[in-house]
Amino acid sequence: MTQYLSVEFIAMLTGFLLMVIGVWGIISQKNLLKIVIGFSLFDTGLNIVIVSLSYVKNSTAPILDKAVEVSDAASKIADPVPQALVLTSIVIGLGVTALMLAYVMRMFREKKSLEINSYNELKW
Partner 1 sequence: MVNPIHIVSIALGVAFALGFLGKRDKLSLGLVLSTLAGMVAISAGWFIHFLNSSVEPLQIFTGGFKPPFAINLQMGLAEATFTLLINVAGFLGAIYLTKELLKTGKNMMLIFLVFILGLNVMVMTRDLFNLFVFSEIQSIALAGLIILDPNRKSIPSGFKYVIATGLISSFLLLGTVFAYYFSGTLNIDFISQASLQYVKGGAVAVFMVILAVILELKPFPANGWALDVYESAHPGIGALVSGIAGTTSLFVLYKLIPVAPFISDILITLGLVSFVASNLLGLSQTNPNRLLGYSSIGQLGLLSATIGMQQLLGDKFIFIALTILISHFFAKAGLFWLSGIINRDDIKDWAMLRKKPILLVLFGVFIFSLIGFPPLPSFFGKWSLIMELSAGNQYMLVTSILIGSFIEGIYLFRWLGYAIKLDFSDLPEFKLNISKFLPTLTWGILLIATGVVASAEMEGLSGLSYWPLIFIAFIYLIDELPIYIKNTLSIAGLAFYSWLTLPELYYTDMLRFIFMGIFLIGGILTLIAGYAYKGKRRGFYPVALIMYAGLAYIIQASTTLEFFFGWELMTAGSYFLIIRGKKSINHALSYMLFSIGGAYAILAGFGITFAETQSMLIASLSQLSNMVPLVFILLAIGFMTKTASLGLHIWLPGAHAEAESDVSPMVSAILLKAGVFGLLLLMIAMGNNPQIATIAYYLGWLGALTALVGNMAAAFQEDAKRLLAYSSIAQLGYILFALAMMSHLGWLTAMYYSINHFLYKAILFLTIGAVVLKVGTHSMYKMGGLIKNMPLAFIAVLIGIIALSGVPPLSGFGGKWLFYNAVIDKHWYFQGIIVFFSGIVAFLYLYKLIYSIFLGQLKDNLRHVTDISLWFAIPIYILIIGIMIISAKPEWLLQPLGKMISQWYPNGALAWNGGLATSTYGYWNGNGVMITIGIMFTTILIWLIVLSRKAQKVKQFNIVYAAEAPQRPETTHQSYNMYAGYNKALGWIVAPKITEFWNMMSDWILSLAHFTRLIYNGNGQRYLIYILGYFVIIYFLVF
Partner 2 sequence: MIKKGILLLLLAGFVVVISNLIINFSGSSELNPLARYYAENGPTEVGAANLVTAVVVTYRGFDTLGEVTILFIAAAIVGFFLKILNSNNNRTSSLRKPSEILETASTLLVPTIFMLGTYIFINGHLTPGGGFQGGAVIATGVMMIILARPTSEFNHKLLSILEAISGIGFVLMGVLGLILASGFLNNAFLPLGKLGNILSAGAIPIIYVFIGIKVGSELTSILNSLKENQNEV
- The footprint of partner 2 (CB under 8 A) covers 3, 6, 8-9, 12-13, 16, 19-20, 23-24, 27-28, 53, 55-57, 61-65, 70, 73-75, 77, 79-81, 83-85, 87-88, 90-92, 94-96, 98-99, 101-102, 105-106, 108-109
The distance of closest approach from Cβ of residue 28 to partner 1 in the complex, given in angstroms and rounded to an integer, is 8
Picked from partner 2, partner 1, none, the partner binding residue 67 (CB below 5 to 8 A depending on kind) is none
By CB under 8 A, tell whether 3 contacts partner 1: no
Nearest-angstrom CA–CA distance, 84 and 50: 10
User: Residues touching partner 1: how many (CB under 8 A)?
Assistant: 36
For position 120 contacting partner 1 by CB under 8 A, the verdict is yes
67 vs 102 by CB, closer to partner 1: 102
- 47 contact partners, CB below 8 Å, separation of at least 6: 15, 86, 89, 90, 93
Do the Cβ atoms of 92 and 8 come closer than 8 Å?
no
10 binds, among partner 1, partner 2, none (CB under 5 to 8 A by kind): none
CA distances from 79 to 5, 57, 84, 87 (A): 20, 11, 9, 14
Distances (CA, A) of 38 to 35, 60, 81, 101: 5, 32, 27, 12
